[in-house]
Amino acid sequence: MVQLLRLRRRDPGQAARRHDLPRHARDRGQRVQQRLCRRGRPAGGPAVSRRHGRIAWTERNPVPIALCGLLLVAGLLVAAANWHRLPFIDDSTTYRAEFTDASGLVAGEEVRIAGVKVGTVEALELDGDKVVVEFTVSGVDLGDRTEAGIEVKTLLGQHYLSVTPAGDHPIAANATIPLERTSTPVNIVPAFNQLADQTARTDTKQVAQALDALATTLQRTAPEMQGALDGLSRLARTVTTRDDQIAELFDKTDRVTGVVAQRDQELGQLLTASDQVLAFLNERRTVIRAIIQDTRGLAEQLAGLVDDNEGVLEPALRDLRSVLSVLRSNERNIDKALTYAAPYAREFTNVGGTGQWFDATLKFPRGFALCSTNDSTDPTGGLLDPILSALNNGVNGSDAPCLPLGPAISSRLAEEQP
């Protein structure tokens, strides 16, 4: 192995100063330098830079350097493992949830939303008869109807906090999820431990004797009992062969219950409305009974009317049936007439009408006048009689107080008439 040593640049001024020294001094200096190079360090301590007076890096004590390096690496590892807790990196929000039982949940376990880890359980504290769990959530806003539950992670007793965000309005940091929206699972580890204890205390000899007695009894049973057992066996085989159908039935039942659960509020409103309808019907029971009785009486009257007029109704219905048959046979012609009636009415209106009005001329006969036959009903009290008399005299040549409506009868026209 060859070790490469750093070569220092030669200082021309130092070489000139060395040449200025006497020869014996230069020889002595060279011998000292050779001894130092062979030993690797000066006789009195580490090598010192002649230019700056500092200890060279390769000649320093490695123990403090190694300790500093180990501390630095340990600090970096701790920071990397807890980077999400650093104040300038952590973007999590702290919340609280109330539970009736901690169920083995401890600080440091996961907080999950839809199976994805989003935070950590920070602390648990007892508040009266309930447990308050403090946890953090990162990157997710929780609504005002958020639910939380303690779930079993493994059979070895590990847990995690399951959070289900819900609600239209987000809750503030450090808000508490009440007991009404939290759930606690059954702790299966103590249950298994209790089962193991009960099994260990079971007398296996007595169980074996009981099974032997049961087998002996079944062998001595009547044929009907054997037939019942065969029927149960066939039923079990049938259920086993219909496993897929039963699973599908349970799946559809689960879907139905899910839909019913989703429509819980609508079903509640429907039941409330049904209760109101029943209450209204109960209040109107007397009126409804009277309506039913009157309807029964009306039906009886109609039946009597039909019986009394059967001779008249039968020909009328026969004629109506014939009319309907004629209309049915001329349905196409009626349809065509209605189709052509619309443009005809439009053209007729354009020719004989003005805007939304229809122009018409009403011609009265000559000498036609409108007179009152009862003077007591005249609202004017006879004030217009002189005016009507003069107007009727000028038009029709009569002094009666009437309103002339026809054209005037002139004397010339009267003479020309035969």
End-to-end alpha carbon distance in the chain: 164
Which run of H or E residues covers position 95? strand 92-99
Same domain, 31 and 115: no
| Dihedral angle sign, alpha carbons of residues 121, 124, 130, 136 | negative
For residue 222, what pLDDT is reported? Answer: 62
For residue 48, what pLDDT is reported? Answer: 47
- Tell whether 127 is covered by a domain: yes
- What phi, psi does 53 have (nearest 5°)? 75, 25
For residue 24, what pLDDT is reported? Answer: 52
**By C-alpha distance, which of 217, 205, 119, 203 is closest to 161?**
119
For residue 190, what pLDDT is reported? Answer: 64
Other beta carbons within 10 angstroms of residue 135's beta carbon come to 26
User: Is 27 a residue whose pLDDT tops 60?
Assistant: no
For residue 361, what pLDDT is reported? Answer: 73
pLDDT digits (tens, 9 = 90+) for 245-279: 878 888 888 888 878 778 878 877 888 888 888 88
Among the ranges given (96-105, 294-303, 362-371), the one the predictor scored with the smallest mean pLDDT: 362-371
Domain's final residue, options 169, 192, 215: 192
For residue 98, what pLDDT is reported? Answer: 94
The burial class, CB within 10 Å (0-12 / 13-18 / 19+), for 234 is exposed
Is residue 161 within 8 Å of residue 121, measured between CB atoms?
A: yes
- Tell whether 39 is covered by a domain: yes
Same domain, 96 and 149: yes
Same domain, 103 and 147: yes
Q: Which residue has the higher pLDDT, 385 or 218?
A: 385
Structure tokens at 318: 């026969």
Same domain, 52 and 105: no
Among the ranges given (113-122, 147-156, 221-230, 385-394), the one the predictor scored with the smallest mean pLDDT: 221-230
**Over residues 78-93, mean pLDDT:** 68
For residue 84, what pLDDT is reported? Answer: 58
Distance between CA 142 and CA 304 in Å, rounded?
74
Distance between CA 150 and CA 182 in Å, rounded?
8
Same domain, 129 and 47: no
Query: What is the extent of the structural domain holding 97?
Result: 91-192
Same domain, 51 and 101: no
Residue 150 CA to its chain's centroid (Å): 24
- Tell whether 177 is covered by a domain: yes
- Tell whether 333 is covered by a domain: no
Is residue 110 within 8 Å of residue 160, measured between CB atoms?
A: yes
Distance between CA 369 and CA 406 in Å, rounded?
7
What does the chain come to in residues? 418
pLDDT digits (tens, 9 = 90+) for 123-181: 999 988 899 999 999 888 899 999 999 988 876 678 899 999 998 898 988 899 999 99
- Tell whether 386 is covered by a domain: yes
Distance between CA 334 and CA 326 in Å, rounded?
11
**Percent of the chain scoring above 70 in pLDDT:** 71
**Confidence band, pLDDT 50/70/90 cuts, at residue 69:** confident
- Tell whether 8 is covered by a domain: no
For residue 44, what pLDDT is reported? Answer: 45
Q: What is the pTM of this model?
A: 0.31
User: For the chain, what is the mean pLDDT?
Assistant: 76
- Tell whether 317 is covered by a domain: no
- What phi, psi does 132 have (nearest 5°)? -105, 120
Supply the DSSP string of 102-122, one letter for each residue: -TT--TT-EEEETTEEEEEEE
Among the ranges given (34-48, 82-96, 397-411), the one the predictor scored with the smallest mean pLDDT: 34-48
Q: Which residue has the higher pLDDT, 85 or 238?
A: 238
Instruction: Give the ranges where 49-90 is alpha helix by DSSP (H).
Output: 62-81
Domain's final residue, options 153, 174, 192: 192
Q: How many domains does the chain have?
A: 3
pLDDT digits (tens, 9 = 90+) for 318-357: 888 888 888 888 888 888 888 888 887 777 777 777 766 7
For residue 386, what pLDDT is reported? Answer: 80
Using alpha carbons only, how large is the chain's radius of gyration in Å? 58
- Tell whether 391 is covered by a domain: yes
